[in-house]
Structure 1
Amino acid sequence: MKLLAVSGSARRASTNTALLRAVAAVAPQGIEISVFDGVGQLPVFSPDLEEGPPPPSVQALMEAIAQSDGLILSSPEYVHAIPGGLKNAIDWLVSGEHIIGKPVALMHASHRGDDMLAALRLVLSTVTERFAPEIFLRLPLMKMTPGAIMEVVGEGEYRAQAVDFLEEFAAYCRTVAG
């Protein structure tokens, strides 16, 4: 099972990117996770740019999605909304076939962010019929360093929650694949 974990943050020391990397490190055997942390490198979406081949950074994202069995998104909340970089990445995918029909689940690295999560759930339920809102992992990791996140997700209850999330999402991906 190959999963692509997309961070909605453009920040180098992002808590959500660190969560995705930590969860990838504890993935059970048979689940391989690649982390995409390049939403900040994508050009601003314009339908005019869809007329030719997509820009290289967009093409890389599209190929990574095409090669995955499912997507995991983890994102901060900016001003009660989806960060511009993540929304831009989703905008690049809407008119293509890369996200349509792709299983998607969410993670979140904060006890806050419910407005963003509600908006993201609405957007995802619009762009793919295989968004699984009930498969969700939320860990209160705000203000922790990436190293500390790797440590706390690597052991104990957080590790068990991460493994359970991955196993549930992998089972969902297998079920909807046919």
Structure 2
Amino acid sequence: MIEIIAISGSLRAASTNAALLAALAANAPADCRIQVYDGLGRLPIFNPDDEGERTPAEAARLIEAVTRADGVIISCPEYAHGVPGGMKNALDWLVSRDAAVGKPAMLVHASPRSLYARAALAEIMRTMSFALYEETALEIALLGKKPTEMGAILAEDANRQAMREAVRGFAEFIRGQ
């Protein structure tokens, strides 16, 4: 069983990124289990003085989840042409740990307009030594949609198939690492 942790870079209750990750989890192939991380908003601001024995509980939970996972999937919005602070903060908690080193990671997108954040996030993750899977970019346009509209779009057969294929490809990438 391939264990994957999925992290949404959005804190919105009706987040398109969180909806995409939940749909990925629901449509994952039988040999993959996707756990959506829900603690982004509870992470304290990263401070290197709080590492080691002083690591806050939520940061320790994130670090442990990423360490245990076989791979990481991130779906992240773009704010002012950049990566939202909460997402960057989560990555900062992983910087000085081995959790990210060589860890397979895939970026998925709920908006066709997040080009700057995509590039910045990929650069940050490469710098942290994540092994980025870039063969298949999954993008399902949910920008500006209400939850019921998102649900309908994500339930479309073509989108469900695209999600399964993206996760299947990512699982093969993980197995090859």
* TM-score (ref. length: structure 2): 0.94
- Bigger drift between 124-133 and 84-93 goes to 124-133
Structure 2 partner of 1:124: 125
- For residue 111 of structure 1, report the CA deviation from its aligned partner: 1.3
**What SS does the corresponding residue of 1:52 show, helix, strand or coil?**
helix
Question: Can you list the C-alpha shifts for 1:43-77, whole angstroms capped at 9, x where unaligned?
Answer: 00011111424101011111111221100000000
- Counterpart amino acid of 2:4? L
State the Cα RMSD in Å: 1.3
Q: Distance in 2 between matches of 1:28 and 1:11?
A: 27
CA separation in 2, counterparts of 1:173 and 1:158? 22
Task: Tell me the CA shift for residue 90 of structure 1.
Answer: 0.4
Alignment length, in residue pairs?
Answer: 176
CA distance in 2, matches of 1:73, 1:169: 12
Match of 1:34 in 2: 35
Q: Please show how residues 47-126 of structure 1 align to structure 2 within 5 Å.
A: 47-126=48-127
1:2 is matched with which residue? 3
Q: Is 1:121–1:133's contact at 8 Å kept on the other side of the alignment?
A: no
CA distance in 2 between counterparts of 1:149 and 1:35 reads 18
Change (3 A) 1:126 1:154: same
What residue is the counterpart of 2:171 in the other structure? 170
Q: Deviations over 1:117-176 (max 9, x none)?
A: 010111111112511233321111112233432332223211111111000000000110
Task: Output the CA distance in 2 between the equivalents of 1:159 and 1:55.
Answer: 37
TM-score (norm 1): 0.94
Conserved in 1, the CA contact under 8 Å of 2:66 and 2:72? yes
Q: Is the 8 A contact 2:100 2:130 kept in 1?
A: no
Higher alpha-carbon deviation: 160-169 or 47-56: 47-56
TM superposition shift of 1:36:
0.9
Conserved 8 A contact 2:105-2:130: no
CA 1:51/1:70 → structure 2, altered by over 3 Å: closer, same or farther?
Answer: closer
Distance in 1, matches of 2:130 and 2:90, equals 18
Gaps of 5+ in 2: none
